[in-house]
Amino acid sequence: MSVGKNIEHDSAYTHVTGESLFVDDRPMLKNEILVGVLGAPVSSGVIKNIDVTKALALEGILAIYTAKDFPQNKWGTIVQEQPILVDDVIGYIDEPMCLIAGINNEVIKRAKKLIEVQFVEQPAILNIDEAIKADKYICKAIAFKQGDADLALKNSPHVLRGAFECGGQEHFYMESQASIVYPLENGQLEVHSSSQHPTETQHVVAHALHLDFSQVVCVVKRMGGGFGGKESQAAHFAAMAALVAHKLKRPARLALSKDDDMVMTGKRHPCKNFYEVGFDNQGKILAFKAQIYVNGGAYTDLTPSILDRAMFHIDGCYFLENCHIEGRAVRTNQHSNTAFRGFGGPQGNMTMESVIEDIANFLKFDSFKIRRLNLYGIDSRNMTPYGQMVDNNVLPEIFDKLHKSSEYEKLSMEVLAFNQEQKGKLRGLSMTGCKFGIAFTARHLNQGNALVNVHIDGTIQVSTGATEMGQGVNTKIQQITAMAFGIDPKKVKVMATSTEKNHNTSPTAASSGTDINGAAALVACEKIVARLKMVAHYHFQGIVSNDLQELPEFDAAIDTDYIKLLDEKFIDSQKQKEIGFVDILKIAYFNRISLGDYAFYKTPGLGFDKKSLSGKAFNYYTNGAAVSLVEIDEYSGELKILRTDILMDLGRSINPGIDIGQVSGAFVQGMGWVSTENLFYHQSGKLLSHSPTTYKIPNVQDTPRVFNIELLENHSNVQNVLRSKAVGEPPLLLGASVWTAIKNALSYRSKGKLPHLSSPATHEVILMELSSYE
């Protein structure tokens, strides 16, 4: 059986050998054009005139396009308000403003310097506080309420009030935004895009050029990383390349440099979350109030949904009997912030973990005690602030098992002894958890389809709406398909995603790529298998067809459960007969029985009413916990992560090797968000940390010296395909354990004060906090 085994990633060998084909690796055609993008000069202002005369005079420049060249210049996933190219009002500095079509990058760079822009600069809003003061909002969410938070606060023995601040995060995918568009006959376009959402790319391109959706095909073979940054924001860059291809009737290639990509595209949403928490002498939370503010940037993009998920996850793993949770998204003159792995969940979850660390420091308890006391219960204390029950709850089991396996008590005593005896070094220890809801919060996106074609040599092609960005979704679909037919996974090929084969697909996001598309593929496989079992039944019964009488395709009265598919054979479990998989396929083919099928899948039971706080927002929860041990140099603020232990509940894993890879990668990415990845802006709003030399993602020296990852055995998740659970986003939330461990370390020097720590806790931030205690 292929499921549950560590088969290699379907692109493992081609990645190593360099044969994997990404968008910009496609061979240049003889008449192909390159497309460059010029950004806006200021963060806020009005464009009066763009003079391209001098640039157009350069030899090798074929055309320059501005907003007026698009038949429809506005796009947006939720609200169509964002210009593909700046029309007159500038939303943020470096916002795409002009397209330059040229024969090479050198002449495009020269042309950028010759374009003259006349504009009137206006005051810019560049952070959350300024936006709140100016009353600039993208949206306001309906509050989540449970119990009576105000009364419970009033009656609480202890109350803490404060604000949690976390910065944005650059996606830093290895492959920048890239698209190639080939003009075809009759005005059709073939778009190859590094996109997590081929259907949206198809629709935005068609809409921008006033084409029918059927005139545009979007193809995605693979991406060199996405992390949410290519869910929505790949679409308008594809539209830019499409405009050039459509106008000049020549293939057009747009591949941003890393610097241009970083200044032009959105990031993870920075947040500033205000809170009040009431608790008793043991640390039990009695009341919680929060106001979440997310920085949406200049345009709406996916911000309302990201704000929702931040609100859905601010409870973390902990029951809040009395709570009131509000959320608002502010509008600023920064790049339009967008989806990022976790989609608002990390910003909400980390707020609660910070609060719990503060409660522990206030009461002078170990923070594990506070967390364990407040965990969601199994038979009671299991209702979320949005009215969904936490069923099949394994959080207590995870926390208890990890507490033991990580030797938490021993490590805690060692930290205490170390901090008392050592000079110049400081250690901290903390455990945090995650309870991540799996489903798109936009209900209509929880759907997918699959096309499965079985060839008479016993090999199979599968096409779904899932897009491969390195996370292994194709490999898991390959394994699911192989299991369904009882064949070697190497005989299954998952094809490039294309909107002509899989229509109206959802983005590969919300950790649901395998959930939705794998389930659709399985349904399609089962339809074919049912027909093949019928053929095998007739064969085992000695019924042979001839040219005049074909085998029936299906007979509901016949039970074929006695026929098993195993090791590329159809096996009669009653009479101990068998026939090869390929032999059955040939019989089916000669009897004109279909060897292909299409299937549609929608996640059942979903439906959440915000107004009444009723219904089911998520299909299930992926749970986990992490313990991190850190060491700080008190003279430089330098951070080292000495050890991290993670325990994840991923249900019945389809591919444990890929899942453990996703857990480790997500944790490191989350760890980077909270410790090193600082987006630094000039006072003008210009992003200064826009390259690998100025933006610090974690490297191998930053990862934990001891790194233990274990998957919890759990077969209870009947809601999802083959009882598996999603893995893409949830483990990123566990990176917070590094930040709370830093907070724990600082508490040993804070002289009774609660450490005030923003995120990311860079070396400079840590050093400044230590300095404040002197």
Question: In whole angstroms, what is the distance from residue 51 CA to residue 62 CA?
Answer: 16
- Unique residue bearing structure tokens 């309906």: 142
727 and 650 Cβ atoms separated by less than 8 Å: yes
Pairing of strands 285-295, 323-330: parallel
**567: DSSP letter:** T
Question: In whole angstroms, what is the distance from residue 303 CA to residue 726 CA?
Answer: 23
Question: In whole angstroms, what is the distance from residue 656 CA to residue 727 CA?
Answer: 11
Question: In whole angstroms, what is the distance from residue 7 CA to residue 475 CA?
Answer: 8
Residue 711 pairs with which residues in a beta bridge?
Answer: 648
User: Whole-angstrom distance between the N-terminal and C-terminal Cα of the chain?
Assistant: 62
| Token pair for 378 | 């199994």
Question: In whole angstroms, what is the distance from residue 236 CA to residue 200 CA?
Answer: 10
What residues have CB less than 8 Å from 765, skipping those under 6 apart? 637, 757, 758
Marked catalytic residue, from 729, 764, 769, 774: 729
User: Alpha helices, DSSP H only, in 434-472?
Assistant: none
Q: Taking phi first (over 0 means left), then psi (-120 to 50 degrees means alpha), and beta for anything else, what does residue 60 get?
A: left
Pairing of strands 178-183, 252-255: antiparallel
Q: Supply the angle between the helices 519-540 and 473-485 in degrees, to the nearest 10.
A: 20
User: Alpha helices, DSSP H only, in 104-253?
Assistant: 105-114, 128-134, 149-155, 198-208, 234-248
Q: Give the helix/strand (H/E) hosting 765.
A: helix 763-771
Question: In whole angstroms, what is the distance from residue 104 CA to residue 89 CA?
Answer: 30
| Token pair for 264 | 């032009």
Q: What angle do CA 33, 35, 37 make, to 5 degrees?
A: 170
User: Alpha helices, DSSP H only, in 278-406?
Assistant: 303-313, 345-363, 367-374, 395-405
| Token pair for 320 | 């809040």
Residue 580 pairs with which residues in a beta bridge?
Answer: 569
Question: In whole angstroms, what is the distance from residue 644 CA to residue 719 CA?
Answer: 31
- Give Dmax (Cα) for the chain: 96
Question: In whole angstroms, what is the distance from residue 141 CA to residue 593 CA?
Answer: 53
Question: In whole angstroms, what is the distance from residue 287 CA to residue 321 CA?
Answer: 7
| Token pair for 343 | 């989609």
Question: In whole angstroms, what is the distance from residue 636 CA to residue 395 CA?
Answer: 37
Sign of CA dihedral 688, 689, 690, 694: positive
Task: Of 438, 37, 62, 52, give the one whose Cα is nearest residue 233.
Answer: 37
Kindly report the three-state secondary structure assignment for every residue of 696-749: CCCCHHHCCCEEEEEEECCCCCCCCHHHECCCCCHHHHHHHHHHHHHHHHHHCC
| Token pair for 263 | 């200044």
201 and 190 Cβ atoms separated by less than 8 Å: no
Neighbouring CB atoms inside 10 A of 693's CB total 7
Residue 9 C-beta-side C-alpha neighbours within 13 Å:
20
Neighbouring CB atoms inside 10 A of 556's CB total 5
User: Is 19 an annotated catalytic residue?
Assistant: no
Enzyme catalytic residues: 729
